[in-house]
């Protein structure tokens, strides 16, 4: 393959490559401790596993 062909192939490959986007992170503040806090984490984990557009991050903030 000649240099010009290689450059053209590389340019086309770069143009056709789909951009990758990072998931939108959502901080989910809560005051649930103990079993309820574990349930909040479980809900967030299930939500995160169900799709890839958003990431729910539960954050315990206390009372």
Q: 17-60: per-residue pLDDT in tens?
A: 556 688 999 999 999 999 999 999 999 999 999 999 999 999 99
- pLDDT-derived band at 63, boundaries 50, 70, 90: confident
* Pairs from 54-60 (Cβ < 8 Å, separation ≥ 24): 54/23, 54/24, 54/25, 54/26, 55/23, 55/24, 55/25, 55/26, 56/26, 56/28, 57/25, 57/26, 57/27, 57/28, 58/28, 58/30, 59/27, 59/28, 59/29, 59/30, 60/30, 60/31, 60/32, 60/33
pLDDT higher at 39 or 5:
39
Q: Model-level pTM?
A: 0.65
């Amino acid at each position: 393959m000649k240099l010009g062909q290689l450059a053209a192939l590389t340019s086309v490959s770069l143009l056709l490559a789909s951009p990758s986007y990072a998931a939108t992170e959502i901080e989910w503040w809560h005051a649930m401790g103990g079993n309820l806090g574990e349930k909040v984490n479980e809900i967030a984990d299930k939500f995160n596993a169900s799709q890839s557009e958003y990431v729910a991050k539960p954050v315990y903030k206390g009372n």
